[in-house]
Structure 1
Amino acid sequence: MPLFKTTILLFIFLAIATFTCLFWIDRYQQIGPDLLPHQWTAATFEKNRVDISDDTLTLFSQNPRIITNAQQYLPAIERGSILLFTAEMKSDNVIPGRKPWNQARLLLVQNDGKKDRWNLPLTVATLHGTNDWDTYQNFFYITPQTQSVRVIAELSHSVGSFQIRNMQLFPVRETGTYLLAKKLILISWGIFFAVLVGSCLFAEKKSALFRAVLTCAFISIIIGTSLPGYMKTSVVYEVETQIDVLSPVFADIVPWEITKIWHACIFLILGMILSLMTARVPFVQVMTIIMMMAAGTEMIQLYIDGRTPLISDFFIDSIGGFIGALIIKLVGRNKPFSLTKHAF
Structure 2
Amino acid sequence: MSLFKIQCWLFILLTGTTLTSHTWIPQYEQNGSELLTSHWQYKVLGNSQVDLTSTGFTLFSNNATTITSIYQNIPEVTPGTILLLSADVKCNDVIAGEKPWNQARLLLLQADEKKERWDLSTVIVSLTGTHDWKNYQGIFTVSPATQSIRIIAQLSQATGSLQVNNIKLYSIRETRMFTMTRNITLSAWGVFFLLLTGSWLFNNKHSIFMRLLLVCAFISIIAGTTFPGDTKNQVSDEVKTHFHTQSESLKATILWDLSKIWHFCSFLLLGLIIALMMTQEPLSRVIFIVFSLGAGTELAQLYIEGRTPLVADFFIDAIGGIIGIILINIFYIRHNSDKPSY
Residue in structure 2 matched with residue 307 of structure 1 by the alignment: 307
Q: 1:204 to 1:69 in 2, by over 3 A?
A: farther
Post-superposition shift, 1:260? 2.3
Moved more, 4-13 or 61-70: 61-70
In the alignment, is the contact (CA less than 8 A) between 1:79 and 1:144 conserved in 2?
yes
Structure 1 counterpart of 2:179, one-letter code = L
Identity rate of aligned residues, in percent?
Answer: 45
Provide the C-alpha distance between the structure 1 equivalents of 2:295 and 2:307, rounded to a whole number of angstroms: 14
Structure 2 counterpart of 1:242, one-letter code = H
Q: 1:271 to 1:55 in 2, by over 3 A?
A: same
Provide the C-alpha distance between the structure 1 equivalents of 2:169 and 2:256, rounded to a whole number of angstroms: 33
Moved more, 261-270 or 83-92: 261-270
Residue in structure 1 matched with residue 91 of structure 2 by the alignment: 91
Cα deviation, 1:131-177, whole Å, max 9, x if unaligned, reads: 21011112212222322222222334544332221111111111122
Post-superposition shift, 1:230? 2.4
Provide the C-alpha distance between the structure 2 equivalents of 1:169 and 1:319, rounded to a whole number of angstroms: 42
In the alignment, is the contact (CA less than 8 A) between 1:95 and 1:159 conserved in 2?
yes
SS in structure 2 of the partner of residue 58 of structure 1 = strand
In the alignment, is the contact (CA less than 8 A) between 2:88 and 2:166 conserved in 1?
yes
Provide the C-alpha distance between the structure 1 equivalents of 2:9 and 2:256, rounded to a whole number of angstroms: 35
Q: 1:15 to 1:312 in 2, by over 3 A?
A: same
Residue in structure 2 matched with residue 137 of structure 1 by the alignment: 137
TM-score, scaled to structure 1: 0.86
In the alignment, is the contact (CA less than 8 A) between 2:69 and 2:152 conserved in 1?
yes
Q: 1:201 to 1:303 in 2, by over 3 A?
A: same
Structure 2 counterpart of 1:176, one-letter code = R
SS in structure 2 of the partner of residue 79 of structure 1 = coil
Structure 1 counterpart of 2:198, one-letter code = G
Provide the C-alpha distance between the structure 2 equivalents of 1:275 and 1:334, rounded to a whole number of angstroms: 15
Provide the C-alpha distance between the structure 1 equivalents of 2:314 and 2:104, rounded to a whole number of angstroms: 28
Q: 1:239 to 1:145 in 2, by over 3 A?
A: farther
Moved more, 194-203 or 167-176: 194-203
Provide the C-alpha distance between the structure 1 equivalents of 2:207 and 2:100, rounded to a whole number of angstroms: 47
Residue in structure 1 matched with residue 233 of structure 2 by the alignment: 233
Q: 1:335 to 1:205 in 2, by over 3 A?
A: farther
SS in structure 2 of the partner of residue 139 of structure 1 = strand
Provide the C-alpha distance between the structure 2 equivalents of 1:248 and 1:190, rounded to a whole number of angstroms: 41
In the alignment, is the contact (CA less than 8 A) between 2:224 and 2:263 conserved in 1?
no
Provide the C-alpha distance between the structure 1 equivalents of 2:36 and 2:65, rounded to a whole number of angstroms: 30
Q: 1:200 to 1:44 in 2, by over 3 A?
A: farther
In the alignment, is the contact (CA less than 8 A) between 1:83 and 1:141 conserved in 2?
yes
Provide the C-alpha distance between the structure 2 equivalents of 1:203 and 1:184, rounded to a whole number of angstroms: 28
Q: Which segments of 5 or more consecutive residues in structure 2 lack a partner in the other structure? A: 337-342
Moved more, 226-235 or 95-104: 95-104
Residue in structure 2 matched with residue 219 of structure 1 by the alignment: 219
Provide the C-alpha distance between the structure 1 equivalents of 2:115 and 2:126, rounded to a whole number of angstroms: 23
SS in structure 2 of the partner of residue 116 of structure 1 = coil
Residue in structure 2 matched with residue 201 of structure 1 by the alignment: 201
Provide the C-alpha distance between the structure 2 equivalents of 1:266 and 1:154, rounded to a whole number of angstroms: 42
For the pair shown, which has the larger CA radius of gyration, 1 or 2? 2
Provide the C-alpha distance between the structure 1 equivalents of 2:260 and 2:277, rounded to a whole number of angstroms: 26
Post-superposition shift, 1:97? 4.9
SS in structure 1 of the partner of residue 9 of structure 2 = helix
In the alignment, is the contact (CA less than 8 A) between 1:120 and 1:234 conserved in 2?
no
Q: 1:154 to 1:286 in 2, by over 3 A?
A: farther
Post-superposition shift, 1:35? 1.3
Instruction: Map 1:108-123 onto structure 2 (within 5 A).
Output: 108-123=108-123
> Is 1:316 the equivalent of 2:325?
no
Post-superposition shift, 1:323? 2.0
Post-superposition shift, 1:13? 0.7
**In angstroms, what is the RMSD of aligned CA positions?**
2.6
In the alignment, is the contact (CA less than 8 A) between 1:201 and 1:277 conserved in 2?
no
Instruction: Map 1:275-290 onto structure 2 (within 5 A).
Output: 275-290=275-290
How many residues get paired?
335
Provide the C-alpha distance between the structure 1 equivalents of 2:49 and 2:242, rounded to a whole number of angstroms: 38
TM-score, scaled to structure 2: 0.87
Structure 2 counterpart of 1:181, one-letter code = T
